[in-house]
Amino acid sequence: MRRRARKGGGRQVELTVTAIGSRGDGIAFVDEKPVFIPLTLPGDRLRVRLEAEKGGGFRAEPLDLLEEGPNRSDPPCPHFGVCGGCQLQHLDESAYRDWKAARMPEALERQGVTAGELREPIYISAGSRRRATFALRRHAGGLDLGFHRRQSGAVVDLQTCLLLTPELFALAAPLRAALEPLLPPGMRGDVILLQAENGFDLLLITPEPPDLAAREALSAFAAEQQVVRVSWAADGKMAPEPIVERSAPLLTFGQTAVSPPPGGFVQPSQAGEAALVAAVLEALPKDAKRVADLFAGCGSFTFPLAQHATVTAVEGDAAALAALWTAARRAGLAGPVMVEQRDLVRQPLHAEELAAVDAVVFDPPQQGAREQAQELAGSPVPRVIAVSCNPVSFARDARSLVEGGYRLDWVQPVDQFPWAAHLELVASFSRT
Ligand SMILES: C[S@@+](CC[C@H](N)C(=O)[O-])C[C@H]1O[C@@H](n2cnc3c(N)ncnc32)[C@H](O)[C@@H]1O
């Protein structure tokens, strides 16, 4: 049977890039339809091959760069372009900052939301990421360990990475050497690394559990490389099994030491976390007595907030909440800190449940908190503080709050992912 040619696919065209899209690709137009071209910049003139039309636009692969736009610069990392970890190293610093700064007002404008004050982003420098997920691929010639290739499941065997702290990247080579003899050829997996304050925490995700010899080898590796804990899981969903625990990995939130669960969410950099916490505390009214911290994780905001008010931390992930609660009890904060495990998409906190709360902090995953924002919109809570890693879903949720009678007082963007399209932010809403 002959395959029907998909509309537009395979066609070669010349075009000029006019903008950068929300995922960091260059955007040009063909037949008045957008074309998304990776690794290109405004002003670039190029020949591309269009892929099939999808959702009213095209993706395209660049074939020849005929003329360079004015803001190109040399990418500092030799893996740039192949590695999927960074999208914008080829853009000069000032154009990069202009693009990041424009993301927030654009997203708000699309939703018709006006902010009292839109602040300049705080830029977190590269070389500060303390957490990373490396993909693993064991092949006949060795082990590839690094980020996925751009738009591919293949693994870039990283020789350098400018995003990570130097200490965290320095673990990559010994880790590669230690894992290579332990994984059979053909095996794929991931390893999640966290640089905690007292050493490294590793979660190995492979289809088969390590056998006894592998466990012994990992134990020796941990002792040599200041790795405090190694855990294993078959996939990202099952509960990880500890393999080596020399001591619990520790991070300090506010003044409280917390041991995050293996692979658990923490803010990617210490400096980014500090900027977000400072903005959340700035937004917290001085007289707030009761605060709800929604999507609390293991407490990056809960514990700094608990220095000022009683906090109820609500979180869907049992392991994260258990880590938060254990830390609260150990610090003598059971009382000022309370916890509730709850799915905030299926069962958002209702407006009536929020009646006695002076401030709500909510920090959902990328997709935002549509259901919770709608409940907040009908609540009497005087101050709502949003933390988000996605200006688009944030702007949608902000619109619900504004339609419910809130005023968006200010937005503080935090660029915690240098050279990537992501942007984090803290926003303060008050009842009008
Ligand atoms: C962006 S993280 C923020 C965590 C924490 N505030 C921090 O800064 O470390 C989002 C959190 O939302 C939690 N989460 C995701 N979906 C959820 C849901 N449906 N209900 C409750 N919590 C959820 C995740 O487990 C994760 O801890």
For residue 315, say whether it is annotated as part of any ligand binding site.
yes
Q: Does domain 131-196+198-247 have CATH number 3.40.50.150?
A: no
Within 13 A of 56's CA, how many CA atoms are on the CB side?
A: 1
Contact 263, 192 (CB under 8 A): yes
Q: Cα separation of 259 and 246, whole Å? A: 13
Give the pLDDT confidence score for residue 7 in this predicted structure.
Answer: 59
* CA-based nearest residue to 85, from 297, 298, 277, 268: 268
Beta strands in 17-119 (DSSP E): 19-20, 26-30, 33-37, 45-50, 58-67, 117-118
User: Is ligand 1 within 6 A of the CB of residue 345?
Assistant: yes
Kind of pairing between the strands at 33-37 and 58-67:
parallel
Closest CA to 407 of 379, 427, 393: 427
363 is in an annotated binding site: yes
Cβ atoms of residues 136 and 166 within 8 Å: no
| Direct distance between the N- and C-terminal alpha carbons of the chain, in angstroms, rounded to an integer | 64
Q: Hey, what amino acid is at 210?
A: P
pLDDT digits (tens, 9 = 90+) for 324-356: 999 999 999 999 999 999 999 999 999 999 999
Q: Is residue 316 within 6 Å of ligand 1 at its C-beta?
A: yes
- Domain range summary for the chain, segments of one domain joined by +: 12-67, 96-123+253-431, 131-196+198-247
Q: Do domains 12-67 and 96-123+253-431 have the same CATH topology?
A: no
Low-confidence ranges of the chain (pLDDT < 50): 1-5
Closest residue by CA, ligand 1 atom 15: 365
Beta-bridged to residue 299, according to DSSP, are none
CA atoms within 13 A on the CB side of 221: 25
Say if ligand 1 is within 6 A of residue 317 CB. yes
Torsion of CA 136, 139, 143, 147, to 10 degrees: -40
Residue 35 β-bridge partners: 28, 58
DSSP 352: G
Q: Judge contact between 394 and 107, C-beta under 8 A.
A: yes
Is 265 marked within a binding site?
no
Would you state the torsion angle of the CA atoms of residues 332, 317, 128, 281, taken in this order, to the nearest 10 degrees?
-50
- CA dist., res. 16 & res. 133, Å (int): 35
The CATH fold of domain 12-67: OB fold (Dihydrolipoamide Acetyltransferase, E2P) (2.40.50)
Query: Is residue 230 a contact partner of residue 238, using CB atoms and an 8 Å limit?
Result: no
Would you say the CB of residue 390 lies under 6 angstroms from ligand 1? Answer: no
Give, using CA atoms, the residue closest to atom 22 of ligand 1. 316
Strand, coil or helix: what is 293? strand
| pLDDT of res. 6 | 52
Half-sphere exposure of 251 (CA within 13 A, CB side): 29
pLDDT (tens digit per residue) in 191-211: 999 999 999 999 999 999 999
Angle subtended at Cα 65 by Cα 63 and Cα 67, rounded to the nearest 5 degrees: 155
- The residue whose CA is least distant from atom 6 of ligand 1 is 296
- pLDDT for the residue 371: 97
What spacing in Å lies between the alpha carbon of 37 and ligand 1's midpoint? 32
Residue appearing with tokens 């059979």: 184
Amino acid 40: pLDDT: 96
Give the pLDDT of residue 8. Answer: 61
Could you list the active site residues?
A: 389
With respect to CATH, is domain 96-123+253-431 assigned 3.40.50.150? Answer: yes
**Ligand 1 centroid from CA 327, angstroms:** 18
58 annotated binding-site participant? no
Please give the distance of CA 401 from its chain centroid, rounded to a whole number: 24
CA of 372 to the centre of ligand 1 (A): 13
Regarding the beta carbon of 416 and ligand 1, being less than 6 Å apart is answered no
Indicate if the alpha-carbon torsion angle 46, 49, 53, 58 is positive or negative. Answer: negative
